[in-house]
Amino acid sequence: MEDTIQTTYTIIDGKKISTDIKTEIALKVAARKKQGKKIPHLAIILIGDDGASQTYVDNKVKACKSVGFHYTMLRFADTISEERLMKHIDHVNNDDDVDGFIVQLPLPPHISVERITENIRSDKDVDGFTNHNFGSIISKHPLLMPATPFGVMELLRRYNIPTEGKHAVVIGASRIVGAPLSMMLTEQGHATVTICHKYTRDLSSYTRMADILLVAVGKPGLVTADMVKEGAVVIDIGTTRVEGPEYQKGWAIKGDVDFKNVAPKTSYITPVPGGVGPMTIASLLLNTLRATELRNP
């Protein structure tokens, strides 16, 4: 007897949810303005002229404008020394008008990401990368959440996808996505979590047990239909630029999941692009608003 294949599935629309969140934030900012309260202010530091980084920053500035945030852009050449960059970070840390603060990654090789990250004040760290914010995930009062995992949890919540008691399998153990996401699923989602990584043997034996499969490794097409159980929820966090003559632009953004063949087996699935991606900036805005509210109720 052949297994029944799920044919009806819901595509999780990250663009729509992120738009909803921005609308909600804009209303709160308008209310703060009317009440004479402080307007959220996001500062962004960009090093060098990397095209992808510039695009990300442009999108963040556009998002700030759309919700009524104030923003400051600081741009420096990729030859800037680590010590000089530290001085600029100290200046922003001590600027009482700045509520949220990010240093756009990646950084030039001569600058330590860890040292830079840990020198951002944790109450302004709206990327949620500092040890203080990272560790707060397992507390009863989490502070500023890592933006991409925060976005994933918000998608699950807004689509009313239950996590409590479910088996969630996370592929990818990075400090930015996989590790904090597994902690958030455990602490906030009350899920049973398995985290897999590049050293995991027989990966498919774990993925086939997942009620919720979350993938963040940057390997296009890693997850195939035979690796997913019927009716699973699949969250594809991977984004890789793949080049080829078959694409209209000469390239396309691909996720870690073979969407076409995996989707019919799922109950819910995120597309790439248009799934988790738009939620990262929405989460950044939510964190900036929260940072403002914590410092200026």
Instruction: List the one residue out of 221, 223, 202 whose CA is nearest residue 213.
Output: 223
How far apart are the C-alpha atoms of 21 and 162, rounded to whole Å? 20
Q: Are strands 251-254 and 266-269 parallel, antiparallel or unpaired?
A: unpaired
SS3 label, residue 127: coil
How far apart are the C-alpha atoms of 254 and 271, rounded to whole Å? 9
Instruction: List the one residue out of 4, 87, 240 whose CA is nearest residue 74.
Output: 87
Contacts of 12 (CB under 8 A, 6+ apart): 155, 159, 235, 268, 269, 270, 271, 275
State yes or no: is 60 an active-site residue: yes
User: Which amino acid is residue 23, in one-letter code?
Assistant: T
Question: Which pair of tokens denotes residue 177?
Answer: 């996505």
Run of H or E residues at 15: helix 14-34
Catalytic annotation, pick one of 13, 22, 104, 258: 104
Question: Which pair of tokens denotes residue 267?
Answer: 């109950």
Catalytic annotation, pick one of 13, 99, 123, 127: 127
How far apart are the C-alpha atoms of 186 and 190, rounded to whole Å? 5
- According to DSSP, the residues that pair with 257 across neighbouring strands are 223
Q: What is the dihedral of CA 235, 240, 246, 251, to 10 degrees?
A: 130
Sheet with 70-76, side-by-side order of all strands? 70-76, 41-47, 100-103
Interaxial angle between packed helices 178-187 and 147-158, expressed in degrees from 0 to 180 and rounded to the nearest 10: 40
Catalytic annotation, pick one of 13, 22, 60, 211: 60
Interaxial angle between packed helices 14-34 and 277-295, expressed in degrees from 0 to 180 and rounded to the nearest 10: 20
Which positions are catalytic? 60, 104, 127
